[in-house]
Amino acid sequence: MRYLRWWYRKTHVEKKCPVIDMFNPLPLRQIYGCPLGGFGGGTITRGWRGEFCRWQLNPGVYHYKTVVADQFTVCLRRKGQTVYQQVLSVERPSVLQDWNWGYCGHYAFYHALYPRAWTVYQLPGQDVVLTCRQISPIIPNDYQDTSLPVGVFVWELENGSDEAVDVSIMLTLQNGMGTKEDKRGGHWNEPFSLEKDDARVSGVLLHHCSPVNPYTLAISAREQAGTRVTHFTAFNPAGTGQAVWQDLLQDGRLGSPAGEVMHGPGNSLSRGVHSSAVSEAGSCQPGSDPRPT
């Protein structure tokens, strides 16, 4: 009875999720991979199939939500024409139907050894192999930096064809964790650029203005010689996704609109950041293996 009273007060009066909910246990799902993030600063878990599926932005409080719009997409161009564009996900959701879903899992391999994980993608018919390395800031004898709530995806590209290929990697991220808070309104996104010590990063800030524990997510890419970072500030993840998909398909870049975008009530918007040439030089020569960051 004491637990029942505590559970009722937590869920119906305080409108919060109990840390241990014995009335709504979660079923076992074998989808989770290596978490992304440092110690004590919250983590985001990316599943072995590529989905972002478990959120712990408040340490100790987990949200088991798979957000469909949170994806990596690859675009290949040869001789100025887009020859391949694919979401790196095996799913076929009912939303964002203008995107090319259904990547064949037979051509992908997942490995994890905390704090790192890596996925190898063989792109069918393209003679191109992508390797995505997921890195968390776990640094021996440096607890301060180990506690940073950050993560890095490093992409490696191997071109086995006999001609150069331009490669674009796009990451899309929804403003929120897939909970009802996403549709409350008042959240907003804005592009940003930061330069320090001769290094420059550009991307999008996603300000999530929830009544309790508001937070800001950031997705960005490092600008380097021969590369170009572009962004698409806002699109609706519950729609077809045509605008952002066609924008990337047209020239391997995103439109980079200026200014912030505010969410109205009930309007769940998603944000994408895109590096148009993560192969550093913008063009990967035959047999080459450049390493982007």
The 10s digit of each residue's pLDDT in 125-182 is 999 999 999 999 999 999 999 999 999 999 999 999 889 999 999 999 999 888 878 8
pLDDT score recorded for residue 281 = 34
Q: Is pTM, for the whole model, over 0.85?
A: yes
Asked if residue 110 belongs to a domain, the reply is: yes
Q: Which residues of 230-241 are buried (b: 16+ CB within 10 A; e: fewer)?
A: bbbbbbbbbbeb
178/265 Cα distance (integer angstroms): 15
- How many distinct structural domains can be found in the chain? 1
Find which of 15-19, 222-226, 244-248 is predicted with most confidence, using mean pLDDT: 244-248
Comparison of pLDDT for 265 and 89, the residue scoring more: 89
d(CA 174, CA 68): 9
Residue 260 lies in a domain: yes
| 207 neighbors 230 (Cβ within 8 angstroms) | no
Percent of the chain with pLDDT over 70: 89
Please report whether residue 36 resides in a domain: no
Mean pLDDT, range 238-251, rounded to an integer: 92
Q: Retrieve residue 179's tokens.
A: 């909970």
Residue range(s) defining the domain that contains residue 122: 71-275
Helices (H), the chain: 2-8, 143-146, 242-251
- 16: in domain: no
Taking residues 21-29, report their average pLDDT: 84
Edge to edge, what strands does the sheet with 81-87 contain?
81-87, 71-78, 166-174, 270-275, 229-235
pLDDT given at position 288:
62
Mean pLDDT of 85-89: 96
* Res. 279: pLDDT tops 70: no
Domain presence at residue 179: yes
Examine residue 243 and state whether it is found in any structural domain, yes or no: yes
Residues 210-224 have a mean pLDDT of 87
- Residue 47 placed within a domain: no
Q: What is the pLDDT of residue 283?
A: 57
Please give the average per-residue pLDDT across 67-76, as a whole number. Answer: 94
- Between 207 and 15, where is the model more confident? 207
Does 53 map to a domain? no
